[in-house]
Amino acid sequence: MAADLAFVTAPDGRAAIVGADVTAIGPAEAIAARAAELDGAGPVRWAWWAATVDAAPLVAARLPISRCWDIAEAHRLLVGGWDATPQSAWATAHGLDRTRLPVPARGDLFDFSSMEPQDTAVVRSDGYLRPDAGAAQWRPDDTSLVAWGQAALDCAARQSALLAEVSPRSVGAAHSESAAAYLCVELTRDGLPIDRAVATRLIGEWAGPRPDTEAQARETRAQRDALVLRHAPGHEHTDLRNPLQVKDLLASVGVVVPNTRKWVLEPFRDTHPLVKALLEWRKAERIATTYGYPWLDAHVGPDDRLRGGWTACDGAAGRMTAQNGLHNLPTGLRPAVAAHPGHLFVRADLGQIEPRVLAAVSGDETFAAATRADDLYAPVASRLGVERSVAKVAVLAAMYGQRSGAAGEALKGLERAYPVAMAYLDRAYAAGLRREPLRTFGGRLIPLDAILADVPVEGTAAYDAARGRFARNAVIQGSAAELFKAWAATVRATTRDLGAQIVLCLHDELLVHVPAEHAHEVRRRLMVALDDSARRWTGSTQVRFVADASVVERWSDAKD
DNA sequence: TTGACCACGTA
DNA sequence: CGTACGTGGTCAAC
């Protein structure tokens, strides 16, 4: 059975619990309290359509739910992409064509065509879910809301059966993806602890003092611009925020470039003082515009927590995403991420996760043997008879598809030494060229018929190659994301009795906020959680995963 | 107001 | 070496 009990909500603030022996319906707060009793009485796996919607009352009540089935996340595993409405998930689970979903009736009071005979039913006579169910305008009566819960249980069970056909591992993936989705709601609620004084000081160093008036803001901007423009007399009216004008400005001092991107300008840093000043300006401008005082005011709450929305998977390979700078905070601002009084951070990142994941997903026993070393590249280098740095570049080139540079000889060595792993990557690349869908290790479908963003024109060889690289990268990146989420879910479940709270997930890095007296025990459990989740995920102990974990006051602090 | 493009931060 | 994401700027089209 995929789940024991469904917990579903209605837009008007009611919730329902539905199971074989239980039915409860009422105000969400009361039903959440009933859920707490049931969850405390014994192990329960909860089903819901989507954590952001249905689990909101449970997260608000700070319930430590650890076992759930998120229909949206399971659907994303099954078919790939990001769309995962209840209607779409239901259709897929029941073998119905999800490209032919019934269209919602127009919200017209006099549109009686939308009134089906059985208006309380959530499933239509043609087998599809009614289109308005679960939508913000839906006003189900109690009978409909209970039916909504029964539909969730049914849908979860069918999804579980479909995933089991993909692989037994996929059912486990659905569990950890579901837990990650619940964690995302908690992350959105809790935010990242910030030292506001340090944040303000750092912003001030880059962006200048906090302006009281618009005139002051203009003056600060003008001063920042002047540091660049003084190097180009006669061009003082150049708008540095306009790349075309910047290109002309650079040409006027003899620096002719196709565009003004940082990596293009970097080689010219010392050829003219204007270039250096411009690169410095860009850095300051980035802080001032994206991570300046408006950002601090908008996203750091009165409790000194930086908040943004979290999602459990993106639309491509399945990594977590976060908004408001949580995933791309410049390293220069990280000293501002600080544990609150009486607390410490346990900070841990997975070492060399992608090559280790390659060893796991490809089943290459020789490459797996290399993962038993703390530094995976050391045994690879010795086997290839090359320097460590060469071995590293070759492995990364193999995984990501190098187009420039020369890893050639070492790549040939990799083909000879680890043919199984290399063949896995080649197959993914070839599938990408043929537009054949792939699956990650945990079974997430990676459709390859979609239009890729920011790539060459369709129909060209360059476009095909871009698709091949995407495919090769996605099976590694996506599988790594699954292991990471399994680890994060395990850490969450095994440390919360100590008051630990995961406050940041960054692809291969975890930041846990914990009462100071429990920090070292949380660090220990975090390492145990990695061993456990890696063993469950890979189904063996052949591939070793390693984490670098330390107890720190600030995110930026040196590792122990 | 919206979308394309540029640019850049993170992994 | 590659891929992915989110954000803010300007500009052109609506």
pLDDT tens sequence across A2-34:
889 999 999 999 999 999 989 999 999 999 999
Average pLDDT over residues A390-411: 78
Least confident of A55-69, A264-278, A289-303, A406-420: A406-420
A185 CB-to-strand C distance under 7 Å: no
**A457 sits within 7 Å of strand B by its CB:** no
CB of A2 within 8 A of CB of A69? yes
pLDDT of A271-321, one tens digit each?
Answer: 889 999 999 899 888 888 899 999 999 999 999 999 999 999 987 889 999
- pLDDT computed for residue A106 by the predictor: 60
The average pLDDT across A472-492 equals 95
Q: Which residue is nearest to nucleotide C3 (CA to C1')?
A: A473
Cα–Cα distance measured from residue A355 to residue A362, given in angstroms and rounded to the nearest whole number:
10
State mean pLDDT over A396-401: 85
| pLDDT band at residue A110 using 50, 70 and 90 as cut-offs | very low
Q: Which residues pair with A446 in a beta bridge?
A: A438
Domain limits, chain A: 5-104+114-166, 196-297, 305-351+482-552, 353-479
Task: State the pLDDT confidence band at A117, using cuts at 50, 70 and 90.
Answer: very low
Give the pairing of strands A46-48 and A5-9.
parallel
Q: Which fold has domain A353-479?
A: DNA polymerase; domain 1 (1.10.150)
Nearest to A346 by CA among A102, A513, A225: A513
pLDDT of residue A449: 75
Q: Is the CB of A261 under 7 A from strand C?
A: no
- Tell me what pLDDT residue A18 has: 97
| Spatial distance between the Cα atoms of A238 and A324, rounded to a whole number of angstroms | 30
Residues of A 488-547 whose CB lies less than 7 Å from any atom of strand B: 506-509
Same fold, A305-351+482-552 and A353-479: no
Closest nucleotide to A309: CA versus each C1' = C6
Are A178 and A51 in contact, with CB atoms under 8 Å apart? yes
User: How long is the CA A467 to C1' B7 vector, in angstroms?
Assistant: 24
Whether any strand C atom is under 7 angstroms from the Cβ of A466: the reply reads: yes
* Domain range A305-351+482-552, CATH class: alpha beta
Residue A207 has pLDDT above 90, yes or no: no
CATH class entry, domain A196-297: mainly alpha
Which residue reads 């989705």 in tokens? A181
Is the pLDDT at A436 greater than 50? The verdict is yes
Distance A453 CA to C13 C1' (A): 22
**A322 CB neighbours strand C below 7 A:** yes
pLDDT tier at A510 (50, 70, 90 boundaries)? very high
pLDDT in tens, A222-232: 899 999 999 98
Asked if the Cβ of residue A469 lies within 7 A of any atom of strand C, the reply is yes
Positions of chain B reached by protein Cβ under 7 A:
6-11
Nucleotide of closest approach to A330 (CA, C1')? B9
Q: Which two tokens stand for residue A282?
A: 């860009």
What confidence score (pLDDT) does residue A162 get? Answer: 97
Query: How many Cα atoms occupy the beta-carbon half-sphere of A17 within 13 Å?
Result: 24
**Cβ atoms A151, A123 nearer than 8 A:** yes
- Rounded to whole angstroms, the Cα distance separating A119 from A121 reads 6
